[in-house]
Amino acid sequence: MKYLIVGAGLFGSVFAFEAAKRGNHITVIEKRNHIAGNIYTKEIDGIQVHQYGAHIFHTSNKKIWDYVNQFADFNRYTNSPIANYNGEIYNLPFNMNTFNKMWKVKTPQEAKNIIDKQRIKLGDRKPANLEEQALSLVGRDIYEKLIKGYTEKQWGKKATELPAFIIRRLPVRLTYNNNYFNDAYQGIPIGGYTQIIEKMLNHDNIEIKTNTDFFDNKNYYLQNYDKIVFTGMIDKFFDYQFGELGYRSLSFQTEELGIGNYQGNAVVNYTDDKTPFTRIIEHKFFEFDQSNPDKTIITKEYPEDWYRGREPYYPINDVRNNQLYARYAKLTKKVANVIFGGRLGLYRYFNMDQVISAALATVHTEFGE
Ligand code: FAD
Ligand code: UDP
């Protein structure tokens, strides 16, 4: 079969790799001037720079961990971000180190007592929004200093207008454990992420065309391929006929500095509402080889509104958007030769492991295994 893959990100590349292995002919088109989508990393002076924000691979699924390890060796990086609230420094995720700094408590019971006093109690009712969810999980102090400002900057909306699930991504622990994730497997590929995609797409049956936008020749592509795997925006595919889905955009400001150590950690979140960026990442600390003592590279991440023409980094999966997406998803049945995949095609706040898992599920459906 002749497949067209729209988007050389993780979803499209896993599909291309698996389909090529099975003897199909694949053309991958990518509108950017490079492959790898948002996991793209570029080496600058021996430092792997995450061009589209910090990417830490983590999963509880051993199969997915083994799968991704075919394409790179991973280091044992553990994400332990720091929060800076107007100069006060706290550990993340919310754990005994955070609670000790906030309230001077030393034992889990002491921390629990304070959280219980501050928590709002919802009874059997589900939290109606992110603010209620946060207040019911960790109480007012943590919410005010570490969640509200960051969240409202990140999403450009009041926490009372955001879905609760977003904050449930973060663990709350009564242990002294600064590991941001609960997953069994975690790390950063030694040598960066781009090699993973290069290896996936390195096959005689795969042709790659960068700087090529599907929408410049949509009808041609629809007519000339047996099947299309589309990982771009689903609302744009259908000419926004029901209106635009909501997205959040970002801009990244990268600086090369002539010092060896700028902030002493890979990720520092600025959780106040005045600082215009949400976080600064210092790329060298994702890796264990810090052989460059006189140089470091940092990236500030500024959340921005999305409008047509900007990069849609985050789908905003609130009720309105999910209902709108459901209407678009129904339309996909009318284009039987197009498979929609990835964060934008399925309009889901997917992590990398979930993207690989979704792509492999699509492969199995497609090839009947
Ligand atoms: P993408 O990587 O977006 O790939 C889609 C590709 O399609 C893009 O290259 C795009 O240019 C191309 N494309 C779109 N439209 C067209 C078109 N019309 N024609 C041609 N090409 C087109 N996940 C984690 O697991 N851990 C993390 O720490 C993490 N951190 C993140 C930080 C940030 C700031 C962001 C934004 C995401 C993060 N993620 C993280 C999520 C991760 O980036 C995604 O899960 C993954 O990259 C999604 O892969 P994808 O193939 O669905 O999408
Ligand atoms: N969050 C927060 N304070 C922080 C970090 C995260 O309130 O210091 C909230 C915020 O709403 C964010 C969500 O938790 O959108 C999920 O955080 P995560 O780090 O998973 O976001 P991502 O890496 O996907 O941007």
Q: Is 187 in the pocket of ligand 1 (CB under 6 A)?
A: no
Gap from CA of 272 to ligand 1 centroid (Å): 27
Q: Which atom of ligand 2 is nearest to the CA of 146?
A: 3
Q: Which residue has the tokens 């592509």?
A: 221
For residue 126, is pLDDT > 80? yes
Gap from CA of 367 to ligand 2 centroid (Å): 37
Residues of the chain with CATH 3.40.50.720: 2-76+185-245+312-367
Cα–Cα distance between 178 and 175 in angstroms, integer?
9
Summarised one tens digit per residue, pLDDT across range 72-85 is 999 999 999 999 99
Q: Which two tokens stand for residue 46?
A: 């021996």
Summarised one tens digit per residue, pLDDT across range 3-25 is 999 999 999 999 999 999 999 99
> Can you give the pLDDT at residue 288?
87
Number of Cβ atoms within 10 Å of the Cβ of 330: 10
> Can you give the pLDDT at residue 260?
94
What contacts 1, CB < 8 A, 6 or more positions away?
A: 19, 24, 25, 226, 227
For residue 139, is pLDDT > 90? yes
Gap from CA of 318 to ligand 1 centroid (Å): 20
For residue 291, is pLDDT > 80? no
CA distances from residue 33 to 7, 37, 126, 218, 314 in whole angstroms, order as listed: 11, 10, 45, 19, 21
Pocket of ligand 2, beta carbon within 6 A: 83, 92, 146-147, 150-151, 154, 166-167, 169-170, 269, 271
For residue 289, is pLDDT > 80? no
Q: Is 79 in the pocket of ligand 1 (CB under 6 A)?
A: no
For residue 28, is pLDDT > 90? yes
Contact 103, 180 (CB under 8 A): no
Q: Which atom of ligand 2 is nearest to the CA of 180?
A: 19
Minimal-distance CA residue to ligand 2 atom 12 = 151
Average pLDDT over residues 131-141: 97
Of the listed ligands, the closest to the CA of 248 is 1
Contact 297, 253 (CB under 8 A): no
Contact 13, 3 (CB under 8 A): no
For residue 290, is pLDDT > 80? no
For residue 59, is pLDDT > 90? yes
Q: Is 351 in the pocket of ligand 1 (CB under 6 A)?
A: yes
CA distances from residue 29 to 96, 229, 231 in whole angstroms, order as listed: 48, 10, 11
Of the listed ligands, the closest to the CA of 217 is 1
For the chain, what is the largest distance between any 2 Cα atoms, rounded to a whole number of angstroms? Answer: 66
Average pLDDT over residues 175-201: 98
Q: Which atom of ligand 1 is nearest to the CA of 13?
A: 51
Average pLDDT over residues 14-38: 98
Of the listed ligands, the closest to the CA of 350 is 1
CATH 3.40.50.720 fits 2-76+185-245+312-367, yes or no: yes
Mutational pocket test of ligand 1: of 38, 48, 219, 248, the residue with most ligand atoms within 8 Å of the beta carbon: 38
Q: Which atom of ligand 1 is nearest to the CA of 11?
A: 51
Q: Is 36 in the pocket of ligand 1 (CB under 6 A)?
A: no
Q: Is 279 in the pocket of ligand 1 (CB under 6 A)?
A: no
Q: Which two tokens stand for residue 223?
A: 């007519």
Gap from CA of 151 to ligand 2 centroid (Å): 7
